[in-house]
Amino acid sequence: MLKTTFFGKGLKNPLVLASGILGTGSDILNRVGKYAGLVTTKSIGPVERLGNKNPCVLEVAGGIINCVGLPSPGYLHLEEEIHGINTPWIASIYGHSVGDFVKIAKHVSGFNPDFIELNMSCPNTSDGMAFATNKDASIELVKEVKKTTKIRVIAKLTPNVTNIVEIAKSVESAGADAITAINSVGPGMIINADVKKPVLSFKTGGLTGPMIKPIALRCVYQIYENVKIPIIGTGGILTGTDAVEMMMAGASLVGIGSATYKEGVNAFARIAKELESWMKANGYKEVKELVGIAH
């Protein structure tokens, strides 16, 4: 009942491990792959990078705030990380320039990921990398990466823009095969009254988890109405019903990140079970029937 396809790739269910929460190592990705249709690596960058100091991931009311800041082994070490991967996977990549993305996309294509996801914006780094907040930069990035690889390319968008539809249309026109929406919201800040200072080492951090679900649903809903390419709806999914709502908004697949923070890999088995129960109780036979029905 949960089986689906994405660009002809058979998936056991529509659930996708979102980038960055459980790392890049094939051991953990294979473990998640027992329960998720697709798994995404943590974004891989141009050079080895430590990321920000602790504290950089904290629970807040309604979710998580993080400023991990894209720690990465660097793309030249990808082989050690991904060696032995035996589950459908998405290689997430980031760069500081179009040239970085092109170089990394070329390299990761050699490992034959099922998809390449462009992390076009990370709010938690001082060097910005905000391709997805600019229409022309998004177009150039997607066009150049598409020229470099035969692997299908997914553009991951940030909600931190005035008009996400404009960016979604831009990446579609540039040849993106699919869109992941959304990355973290913010940045936000937490201050400790006793210490009288911001708590996170980077001072600000991206917000994720249930508090961002309404924003993610709105973004996916709007994108679905304006582009034809499929969407991986991500943001605040904790339950099977959340996944149903995300597909109703227009997502073909559903990304899950913060739900694994407390529950680990088990989140996928639980959410899949809940999704199946909901479908049975409501008379649906295939997940594709749910896509976009809230419109």
Ligand X SMILES: Cc1cc2nc3c(=O)[nH]c(=O)nc-3n(C[C@H](O)[C@H](O)[C@H](O)COP(=O)(O)O)c2cc1C
Active site residues: 122
Q: Which stretch binds ligand X (CB under 6 A): 28-36, 66-74, 107-115, 244-252?
A: 66-74
Q: Is 257 in the site for ligand X (CB under 6 A)?
A: yes
Say which amino acid occupies 55. Answer: P
By CB under 6 A, name the one of 88, 236, 240, 292 that touches ligand X: 236
Complex with ligand X: residue 172 or 242, whichever CB lies closer:
242
Q: Binding of ligand X at residue 58 (CB under 6 A)?
A: no
Q: Does 36 bind ligand X (CB under 6 A)?
A: no
Q: Which stretch binds ligand X (CB under 6 A): 46-54, 74-82, 254-262, 264-272?
A: 254-262
Structure tokens at 102: 């092109």
Long-range contacts of 55-58 (CB under 8 A, 24+ apart): 55/199, 55/200, 55/201, 56/200, 56/201, 56/202, 56/205, 57/261, 58/190, 58/199, 58/200, 58/205
Q: Does 68 bind ligand X (CB under 6 A)?
A: yes
Per-residue HEC secondary structure of 222-257 comes to HHHHHCCCCEEEECCCCCHHHHHHHHHHCCCEEEEC
Smallest gap, in angstroms, from Cβ of residue 283 to ligand X?
Answer: 28
Q: CB nearer to ligand X: give 132 or 248.
A: 132
Rounded Cα distance, 291 and 250, in Å: 5
State yes or no: residue 256 binds ligand X (CB under 6 A): yes
Considering only 26, 52, 119, 133, the residue that binds ligand X (CB under 6 A) is: 119
By CB under 6 A, residue 64 contacts ligand X: yes
Smaller CB distance to ligand X: residue 36 or 259?
A: 259
Contact between 154 and ligand X per CB under 6 A: no
The yes or no reply on residue 187 touching ligand X (CB under 6 A) is: no
Size of the site for ligand X (CB under 6 A): 27
Closest approach, Cβ 261 to ligand X, in A, equals 7
Q: Binding residue for ligand X (CB under 6 A) from 13, 29, 36, 42?
A: 42
Question: What are the backbone dihedrals phi and psi of residue 269, each rounded to the nearest 5 degrees, phi first?
Answer: -65, -45
> What is the spatial distance between Cα 208 and Cα 16, in angstroms, rounded to a whole number?
16
Q: Is cis: bond before 187, omega within 30 of 0?
A: yes
Residue 154 CA to residue 118 CA, distance in Å, equals 6
- Residues whose CB falls within 8 Å of the CB of residue 194, separated by 6 or more in sequence, listed in order: none
Q: From the list 32, 38, 70, 287, which residue makes contact with ligand X (rule: CB under 6 A)?
A: 70
Closest CA to 251 of 228, 280, 276, 221: 221
User: Two tokens at 40?
Assistant: 């995404």
Residue closest to ligand X when measured from CB atoms: 20
Binding residues (CB under 6 A) for ligand X: these are 18-21, 42-43, 57, 64, 66, 68, 70, 92, 119, 156, 183-184, 208-209, 212, 234-237, 256-259
